Chain A
Amino acid sequence: GAGVSQSPRYKVAKRGQDVALRCDPISGHVSLFWYQQALGQGPEFLTYFQNEAQLDKSGLPSDRFFAERPEGSVSTLKIQRTQQEDSAVYLCASSNNRDSGNTIYFGEGSWLTVV
């Protein structure tokens, strides 16, 4: 597609429920990132994929968070047993080469509210 596409745009989950957030990166982009943005804050890094390989997951806040990109394109961020502190915008981003300076393009985010 023309840009990074994320779904759902808005999700309300009851505490304890599992959620899955989907990201469809820009076609051909090998690098994919997930960021978490709390209200009034800047985005914070969660995890990074190069093709299907998850090269960095140092930002995942707990073992309830899991991300995958099995075929090197679409990625899913899964949050198990959601807690209220998981309420945030989850941003997906992609870029097209390995140079750390290459521009990273972001989607509109999935807005998660845990009640």
Chain B
Amino acid sequence: AQKVTQAQTEISVVEKEDVTLDCVYETRDTTYYLFWYKQPPSGELVFLIRRNSFDEQNEISGRYSWNFQKSTSSFNFTITASQVVDSAVYFCALSVLSSGSARQLTFGSGTQLTVLP
């Protein structure tokens, strides 16, 4: 079975601060995919990034960066110079390549990020 843990339930920062959202996952599969989604108050889950288990390179996209470390089963997400529009719930999710339920995502419980002006 797969499990994703987001230990931070809520985080508040002041605008322009950097913030890191933690994600720890559990799986016995050697091939898997990790995702981050953003959920604004409107409810739609907005895709941010996908990373496969064979690619441990960190990635940067504008103010967003991701740190994938297989040794600690972590896939952390950092927002640099946060903005009020970054306020949302952020979900980390895991998908494994296996038979049967090969396609489903297992989500963490989410981190509510509030960026104060």
State whether B100 touches A101 (Cβ < 8 A): no
Q: Within the complex, which residue of A56, A89, A108 is in contact with B104, where a contact is CB–CB below 8 Å?
A: A56
Are B45's CB and A91's CB within 8 A? Answer: yes
Q: How far is the CA of A22 from the CA of B101 in the complex (A)?
A: 23
Give the residue among B42, B103, B110 with the most A Cβ atoms within 10 A. B103
Chain A, interface size category, equals 20 to 34
Are B102's CB and A100's CB within 8 A? Answer: yes
CB of A109 within 8 Å of the partner chain: yes
Q: Min CB distance, A11 to chain B, in Å? A: 13
- Rounded to whole Å, the gap between the CB of A45 and the closest CB of chain B is 4
Q: Nearest chain A CB to B12's CB is how many angstroms away? A: 17
The answer to whether B101 touches A41 (Cβ under 8 A) is no
Q: How many residues of B contact A (CB 8 A)?
A: 29
- Beta-carbon contacts under 8 Å, A56-112 to B: 56, 58-59, 89, 91, 93, 95, 98-101, 103-109, 111
Say whether B101 contacts A58, CB under 8 Å.
Answer: yes
Decide if B45 touches A43 in the complex (CB within 8 Å): yes
- Per the 8 Å Cβ criterion, residues 66-91 of B in contact with A are 91
Contact present for A104 and B101 (CB under 8 Å): no
Chain B residues lying within 8 Å of A18, measured Cβ to Cβ, are none
Contact B95 A101 (CB under 8 A): yes
Q: Which of A32-56 contact B (CB under 8 A)?
A: 33, 35, 40-45, 48, 55-56
- What is the bound-complex CA distance between A62 and B90, given in angstroms? 29
Interface code B31-48, partner A: CB below 8 Å = 1, 0 otherwise? 001010100001111110
Q: Known: A42-B108, A100-B33, A101-B97. Is A108-B103 also a contact (CB below 8 A)?
A: no
Evaluate contact between A42 and B109: CB separation under 8 angstroms.
Answer: yes
Q: Does B113 contact A (CB under 8 A)?
A: no
Sample 9 A-B pairs with CB under 8 A, ordered by A number.
A42-B4, A42-B109, A43-B91, A45-B104, A98-B103, A101-B33, A101-B52, A103-B47, A105-B47
- A binding-site residues for B, Cβ under 8 Å: 31, 33, 35, 40-45, 48, 55-56, 58-59, 89, 91, 93, 95, 98-101, 103-109, 111
